[in-house]
Structure 1
């Protein structure tokens, strides 16, 4: 396997946890959560600080998940209890987390390199460990969404008013879903920091767009009829996205600074393509119906002429 392709698989698996988190808010809850851009850095910062202070890297990952979930819960509280618009509540939390992340890290950049620093990838390769972690988390999510609480969370995104009429507290399900989403995003950030060897205060910028790109590409290519298939599509979409980015970088006219532009173009294509495909199918269906109608009319006219004779 070429080096660039194996690197794309590595990054795709590492970012797939973040994409799963975005899927929960974007698709299941239908909630535009911009907390993601900051909670990703929160996870990376918490893990980096704990690891450099001698804490077990696995415990640091767990703490990163908890920190991200706490940030997501605050966003949910602002929206549900504070009655703040969902988009605005995410923006407010994202802004607040920038200062909080600086407090956590102490400095804008923390290095995770050195003989005395141990990460989860010190003794195990990324391509060996990450598939196991991603599969376990994907299956756990599938099981959770089949429980009563998980079904309530899914129903909240589909029809909040209906599920509230059955006595479900939709505020609780929203807070839980947003917390779980940002917990996964922060966990992804902690793994990225350990894989790249540093945590930076700006590393979460644009994560929401990357997550959306992975979700949309996965759904467009692999479908999302069931939860099992949808979560699998998100993971595969994250890998496909990184392969596309890798192919783009191998071209002669693109530079590293064009990453955001490439991502935007990919998202636009992924969003527009299903609409074009649907319109094309409808036009074909309309043409077939017109042809069938004309054929039926011609047959009727022929029968009428034959009767007159």
Structure 2
């Protein structure tokens, strides 16, 4: 049970990077971008192909993010310059990326089992410091179970994800970031102020897909393979992470909202892991579980809000009656 929960947190913290990318388009830009289902695989395929070709894993991961940025920019160009509906532009790019990803890998699945990944390099680096054995020794001395051998990966990925979150927070508070947020709120008003909304949208969608592709490259290295279908349903996972995080932790500030997205991604993976441990559910039910989680996350806040409003009306009615009786 502990190992499975550890794995859920480990993958959840990587998927959180993808969720931050989805947050930028859906919440900040108000741009329903389905490119992410293709750019996630693009990041995985570019990273896998680069590593197989002898490129250092860290550089391969950077290439994955760059490939995602290019794919996102092309979607932005289709929407802004080609005057194609944002949803349709994302679908078109997602469809095109399927063939592009096949071209990159040369086959539907590309294995990394015999290759050195960035995570293996991190584990080796961590082991060489001696901190790993020291920490596990301390746990054993106080009677606690040793952490899995990949706990160093989790620690590094938490640092990386928090770093990306802080950069996102800083970017959204800059002049360009504020303009992006304003475009999502009222594009016509920003245009009336002579701002170049087209360039801002292209850059915003590009950055979003760079995050998504980066997550794809990391997931491919964590799982040991890249598959052309690994991005199916990814947009629902991203939205589920955002909705769960916002429902539980709120969105009063940008800092709080991005933290909510990260925590929402981790909680989503934990919920899915727990659900799959139920006897009558199978791995093939994952899409159904995801849909149910999203439905609950969407419906529950509205039910709670309607109950609060109902209680508020009842209290107000009672106060008015009490005031009427005292005047009589």
- Partner residue of 1:78? 78
CA drift at 1:121:
0.5
Is it true that 1:248 corresponds to 2:275 in the alignment? Answer: yes
Aligned residue among 270, 286, 289 for 2:316: 289
Is it true that 1:218 corresponds to 2:245 in the alignment? Answer: yes
CA drift at 1:21:
0.4
CA drift at 1:173:
1.2
Q: Deviations over 1:2-55 (max 9, x none)?
A: 101101100111100100000001111111111111100000000000001111
Q: Distance in 2 between matches of 1:72 and 1:273?
A: 33
List 4+ stretches of structure 1 deviating above 3 A: none
> Which has more radius of gyration?
1
- Partner residue of 2:119? 121
- Partner residue of 2:188? 161
Aligned-residue CA RMSD (Å): 0.9
Q: Distance in 2 between matches of 1:150 and 1:169?
A: 13
Q: Distance in 1 between matches of 2:102 and 2:110?
A: 11
Is it true that 1:30 corresponds to 2:38 in the alignment? Answer: no
CA drift at 1:276:
1.0
Q: Any gaps of 5 or more consecutive residues in structure 2?
A: 124-151
Aligned residue among 229, 232, 252 for 1:205: 232
Q: Distance in 2 between matches of 1:268 and 1:171?
A: 34
Q: Distance in 1 between matches of 2:116 and 2:167?
A: 27
Q: Distance in 1 between matches of 2:277 and 2:88?
A: 38
Q: Deviations over 1:167-193 (max 9, x none)?
A: 211111111111111110000000000
Q: Distance in 1 between matches of 2:79 and 2:300?
A: 32
Q: Deviations over 1:199-256 (max 9, x none)?
A: 0011011110000000000000011111111110000000000110011011111100
Give 1:1-309 correspondences, 5 Å limit: 2-114=2-114, 117-123=115-121, 124=123, 125-301=152-328
- Partner residue of 2:127? none
TM-score, length basis structure 1: 0.95
Q: Distance in 1 between matches of 2:14 and 2:163?
A: 14
3-state SS of paired residue (2:119):
coil
The count of corresponding residues between Structure 1 and Structure 2 is 299
Q: Any gaps of 5 or more consecutive residues in structure 1?
A: 302-309
Q: Distance in 2 between matches of 1:70 and 1:276?
A: 41
Q: Distance in 2 between matches of 1:22 and 1:76?
A: 14
Q: Distance in 2 between matches of 1:191 and 1:239?
A: 16
- Partner residue of 2:136? none
TM-score, length basis structure 2: 0.90
CA drift at 1:128:
2.1
Task: Please say which of residues 95-104 and 272-281 is displaced more in the overlay.
Answer: 272-281
3-state SS of paired residue (2:6):
helix
